[in-house]
Chain A
Amino acid sequence: MRYAMAVDTKKCVGCSDCVVACQTENNVPIGYCRDWVVEVMDGTYPQLEIELRSERCNHCENAPCVRCCPTGASHIVDGGIVLVTPNKCIGCGACIASCPYDARYPHPKGYVDKCTFCIHRVNQGMKPACVAVCPTKCMYFGDLDDPNSEVSVVLKKRKYKTLIPEAGTKPHLYFLI
């Protein structure tokens, strides 16, 4: 089982609902976030293009954050989800420095925190909070090993990209373009 998420940049309006929903679902303190929205604009008036996308931990198969963690707090669980065990984390910040996606932040309680793909919800058969709340339904979540999962289906149908492929991290966050 390999969980993955695809974000449709053609539908995302950059409203940041995913950010608030994550905060209220996961008790992310005000001033921090596990997911965020990026706007990339290109061109000169009036020949313009814009891409909006919701970003978070890429849950890499080849995760630098896990490799560099001195205590084993950062680890990969079944389904390929990258997690941090707070009471094993010493807050050294090596993972933050190693992440090409800037997906981790130091939680005020002293450990490093990040997106969990809402594993507590996924284990109960629900979608991650960001996916469930999105007004544009621009996010697809599921198992890449299941050809019928909505993420597999949409990746078969649409063109997509990953971020910073040259980092060789084999990310599980896809962007439909």
Chain B
Amino acid sequence: MATRRQFIRISAMGAGAVVAGAAGLKLFGSGITDGQKATFAALTGRTPTYCEVCFWKCAGWVYKDGKGSIQKIIGNNEDLNCNGRLCPRGTGGVGMYHDEDRLRKPLIRTEERGKQSFREATWDEAFDYIAEKIKVISAEHGPECIALFTHGSGGKYFSTLLRALGSPHIAAPSYAQCRGPREVAFQATFGEALESPEPLDIRDTRCLVLIGSHLGENMHNGQVQEMSDAIDKGATIITVDPRFSTAAGKSKYWLPIKPATDLALLLAWINVIITEELYDRPYVEKYTFGFEYLKEHVKNMTPEWAYGITTIDPTVIRETAREMANAAPAVIVHPGRHVTWYGDDTQRLRAVAILNALLGSWGRRGGFFRSEIFELPEPPHPAYPEPKRTWRTEFPDLYKLADTVLANGVCDATVPDPSRNCKFQGWIVNGTNLMETLPNQANTLRAIQELQLLVVIDTMPMEITGWADVVLPECTYLERYDDLRVVAHRKPQIALRAPAAEPMYDTKPAFWMARELAKKLGVIEYFPFEKMEDQLDWQLRQVGSSLEEMKRIGVRTFDRAADNLFFYPDEDVEFYTATGKIELYSTALEGAGFDPMPKYTAHEEPPPGFYRLNYGRAPMHTFSRTSNNPNLTDLMEENSVWVNPRVAKEWGLSTGQYVHLVNQDGKRSEFPVKVRVTERIRWDSVYMVHGFGHQEKKLRRAYGKGASDTNLITKVLVDPIMGGTGMRGNFVTFITDLSGEEVVS
């Protein structure tokens, strides 16, 4: 499926090349005030970077103290992702550098997997070990039996390595464990995925609708900033969440919905908007396909119907629908980000997309803008060999609309199964702690035991490193060059990451590691530049800049190729769907054998004495990645389990008390977790911040602090459309007797 985003990519590249030739690229200043300059002079200089603590990748400046040690990181004013303001994690990124528990030397396992016994090795030994195994696997099974899991900048280079060897299996848990259903739903509806950062014009919206999306607790920086701008301008916020989130506290309407019933509410909103003729009629007529089918489909899905499912008062459902329509088209029904909840997530996100289409917010100010990306020329290298097998050809009937490799799919296909004639033999894991990322840990461990090779590249001794055959210690983002950051935004921008300090210990950048392995495996021609800085300079010179210039400015902004951020009035727009229209009725879903319009199905409910396990984020942490960071642990060192006072009374629980959680399958939390009795959570569910309860003792600050939600997610509700792993169908109860157990605190 060709997307608009891809189309703009191509045109932006063309325009960029032309303008660069004329040396006329508009360059914006780096936006530093005189006052700031005075401070910079007092410090020993600054180095541009973009953040690696989360996926938002804000650009900033790294400052060192008089002794040459990294002291602080400040946002780059030119950067559209952060507007000069990093979030707590970005500001606390210094802690990643200073963390004394960092991996220091390459390690090779000396005993069986799971036993934490490693010996320190030289880089050469480590590479020989890996290269030898890769050669054996490639000869015996084919290179395509090696997969990469990545959630970090370094993944790019290992991806090049694997493709050069002939494997297309590059998996990112950010798809099937996170935003995949959203991308498929928006692609099916509008013909393009949303990508990151999402093109949401929150700052100019008049109504922001959040469905389980906890902006402010998830610090998606630019969006949190724009939500604040919208509050300043008096926008209405409507929050749907069984928990009184921070965003709910800033909302005109908080809908304390019964968990797992969001789709019924969305369909009722669609019903009201159609029945009361609140939709944007000219927009719907001009741009959409299937309105009459939709009208018929939702005719009985009234607020009264939804009331019995969601527990939301029909009057409130109508009122909020009207509130959205009054604000339209400056309204955003937020697509969310981590949306793998119940296994029908693509359909729920379809309802979100449809609602936005009816309100006419796509392509309109205060709704969704048309982002642009500036893509840089790639260093020249030979074409990648054609893979002999791909996951797609091996599983033709599964997850038909998945457009990327599924991390959980690779995991499943690593366990031998009579239905498959091959299985994965080797994993390379970069920047993702699979033990805390993939649900159903037992399954992940079973797969790991089947591997001939497991290589982990990380900065910290995360749980996954304990299972590796070889651990390669990566230097932090503050100590290395990486590819330029290229993101789609209101204007196309590129940002540089340069090292502010020499790598500590015996750590190295992933680029160097992948290139050294390429040498040993005879595919060095895919890495034409010996040094990252030479590659960057070459790329930058193609577009009229240079490494020297980027070191000075950090972020460069380019002019847009298309002049309109939004649709012109009555503009003819062709959408990248089969009908060329916004598909309220999805021909793509229908063609793949799925419901063309979303239907509500009831999900399993907790048995008596059990509560639905909901999880989310705290603003100062990213996944399980930051829970040992000294600066960020200082803000929050453990998670707690939120319990409604009525439930607490039933169980005799009080705030501060430690309990174990045990789920419907008898899986018990590895560590006790502190109770937080609060009115902020519904009585039928509990809530935990994700990323705690580390089992790796080498993480000295994080070990044993709090409980891991992932550990309790043994039941996975898989989305048949794209393979997303729904993780909100697990129920937990309390074990209050902790006699004989020591609590780490």
Contact = CB atoms under 8 A, between A and B. Distances in A.
A24 B91 CA distance: 8
Nearest to B644: A45
Contact of B88 (A15, A31, A33, A48): A15
Nearest to A26: B72
Contacts of B683: 45
Contacts of A49: 249
Given A20-B92, A45-B244, A13 B225 contact: no
A41 B680 contact: yes
A80 B620 CA distance: 32
B634 interface: yes
B64 to A, nearest CB: 12
A17 B217 CA distance: 12
Interface in A8-23: 10-11, 13-17, 19-21, 23
Given A41-B678, A43-B679, A126-B33, A16 B72 contact: no
B682 A45 contact: yes
A167 to B, nearest CB: 28
B680 A20 contact: no
A20 B244 contact: no
A13 to B, nearest CB: 3
A44 interface: yes
B249 A135 contact: no
A20 B91 contact: yes
Given A44-B679, A46-B254, A15 B219 contact: yes
A15 B256 contact: no
Nearest to B84: A132
Interface centre among B73, B224, B248, B254 (most CB of A within 10 A): B224
B225 A136 contact: yes
A30 B100 CA distance: 14
B679 A19 contact: no
Contacts of A121: 35, 39
B75 A133 contact: yes
Contacts of A44: 679
A160 B81 CA distance: 31
B275 to A, nearest CB: 27
A125 B225 contact: no
Contacts of A133: 74-75, 85-86, 91
A136 B219 contact: no
A77 to B, nearest CB: 19
Contact of A52 (B74, B91, B215, B246): B246
Contact of B216 (A13, A43, A137): A13
A1 interface: no
Interface in B221-236: 221, 224-225, 227-229, 231-232
A126 B87 contact: no
Interface residues of A, number: 38
Interface in B353-383: none
Interface string A23-43: 111010011010000000101
A6 to B, nearest CB: 14
B632 interface: yes
Nearest to B634: A30
Contacts of B39: 121, 124, 126
B22 to A, nearest CB: 38
Interface string B166-199: 0000000000000000000000000000000000
Interface in B21-78: 33-36, 38-39, 71-75
A138 B256 contact: no
Given A41-B678, A48-B249, A125-B34, A16 B85 contact: no
Contacts of B221: 135
Nearest to A13: B216
A24 B619 contact: no
Contact of B680 (A31, A48, A132, A137): A48
Nearest to A46: B256
B250 interface: yes
B635 interface: yes
A50 B88 contact: no
Nearest to A127: B35
B299 to A, nearest CB: 30
B706 interface: no
A20 B631 contact: yes
A119 interface: no
Contacts of A126: 33, 35-36, 39
A139 to B, nearest CB: 11
Q: Indicate the member of A17, A31, A51, A137 with the most B CB atoms within 10 Å.
A: A17
Contacts of B244: 41, 45-46, 48, 50
Interface in B400-440: none
With most chain B CB atoms within 10 A of its CB, the pick from A45, A126, A135 is A135
Nearest to B58: A135
Contacts of A134: 85
Contacts of B249: 48-52
A17 B87 contact: yes
Interface string B616-660: 000110000000001110111000000010000000000000000
Contacts of B91: 17, 20-21, 24, 133
B712 interface: no
A121 B248 CA distance: 35
A136 to B, nearest CB: 4
Interface in B260-303: none
Contacts of A43: 679
Nearest to B71: A24
Interface in B81-118: 82, 84-88, 91-92, 94
Contact of B87 (A15, A27, A45): A15
B434 to A, nearest CB: 28
Interface in A125-150: 125-126, 132-138
A31 B637 CA distance: 11
A135 B232 contact: no
A140 to B, nearest CB: 12
Given A11-B231, A17-B88, A126-B35, A45 B224 contact: no
10 contacts: A13-B217, A14-B619, A15-B620, A19-B635, A30-B630, A45-B681, A48-B680, A121-B35, A125-B33, A125-B34
Given A14-B246, A16-B88, 13 more contacts: A10-B250, A11-B231, A14-B619, A15-B87, A15-B224, A17-B85, A17-B91, A30-B634, A33-B634, A41-B679, A46-B244, A124-B38, A136-B216
Interface of B: 33-36, 38-39, 71-75, 82, 84-88, 91-92, 94, 215-217, 219, 221, 224-225, 227-229, 231-232, 244, 246-250, 254, 256, 619-620, 630-632, 634-636, 644, 678-683
Cβ-closest 4 pairs across A and B: A13-B216, A15-B619, A50-B249, A136-B228
